[in-house]
Homo-oligomer: A and B are copies of this chain.
Amino acid sequence: MSDSDHQRTVNATRTSFTVVEALAEREDRVGVTQLASTLDIPKSTAYKHLTTLCELGYVHKEGRKYELGLGLADLGESARTRDPLYGTAKSHVDRLVSVTDQPAGVVVERRGNAVDLYRAWPTNRPAAHGTNSRYLHCSAPGKAILAELPDDRVAEIIDRGLPTKTDRTLSTPSALREKLDRIAERGIAFERGEQREGRRAVAVPVVRNERVMGAVYVAGSTDRMKSKRFEEDIPGIIISTVNRFTSDI
């Protein structure tokens, strides 16, 4: 597959994005040599692509080190707000935040990872940004989506590994599969400190035409989400919210 595809695709584009992705994964800035060696490509090639990406504004050069450029922020915003779920779910997420006085959001899946389309926080108690897991298996919205995904897709994702984030993370295929069955039955997913100690969440998948579009969640610290509120009230609110806008997509 790759051999025939390579014939009809642009290799240079691929390497350029490999460079960008490498920069995205690193926390710190990085030099040409370092980047080239981690990607196992010649220095000069890395340099040429970095220069090109700089010129386009998607990579930023600070001194002799490179990092992600803000051009990507523009593109990313365009991509997020373009998704059909964004437009329909946004106002409902906002209302969830008001009603529950807790952070809420809407998540979609792409290539086995969770992507936040939109999230909002209660004003006086803003939560951390960018801390949500990219992994599906250890978050409420991720599991809600997984439970609705076709079996072969789930298998693919499981095969890529189930990293352990806390000691409650479901990191074996069998444990995860069993949980997903229960989630599919009930139509709701819970997260109890599986991606971060002290964090809880409830999520409901958004299904349309038998395809899962994403999931809506409400999150919060364990002390704000316990017993009936966590297990019944908030689930009920989310379910009715999702029902409401699933019909009028």
Contacts and interface: CB of A to CB of B under 8 A. Distances in A.
Given A10-B16, A13-B16, A110-B57, A79 B69 contact: yes
Contacts of A53: 13
A110 B77 CA distance: 15
A12 B9 contact: no
Interface stretch (A117-125, A148-156, A220-228): A117-125
Contact of A10 (B12, B80, B110, B120): B12
A237 interface: no
A80 B70 contact: yes
Interface in A111-155: 111, 113, 115-118, 120-124, 126, 129-130, 134
Given A9-B51, A52-B13, A123-B122, A79 B70 contact: yes
A8 to B, nearest CB: 6
A161 interface: no
Q: How many copies of the polypeptide does the oligomer hold?
A: 2
A41 interface: no
Contact of A77 (B14, B20, B120, B130): B130
Given A73-B76, A75-B24, A129 B123 contact: no
Contact of A83 (B70, B75, B124): B70
Interface stretch (A93-101, A182-190, A201-209): A93-101
B79 A73 contact: yes
Interface of A: 5, 8-14, 16-17, 20-21, 24, 48-49, 51-53, 55-58, 67-83, 90-91, 94, 97-98, 101, 108, 110-111, 113, 115-118, 120-124, 126, 129-130, 134
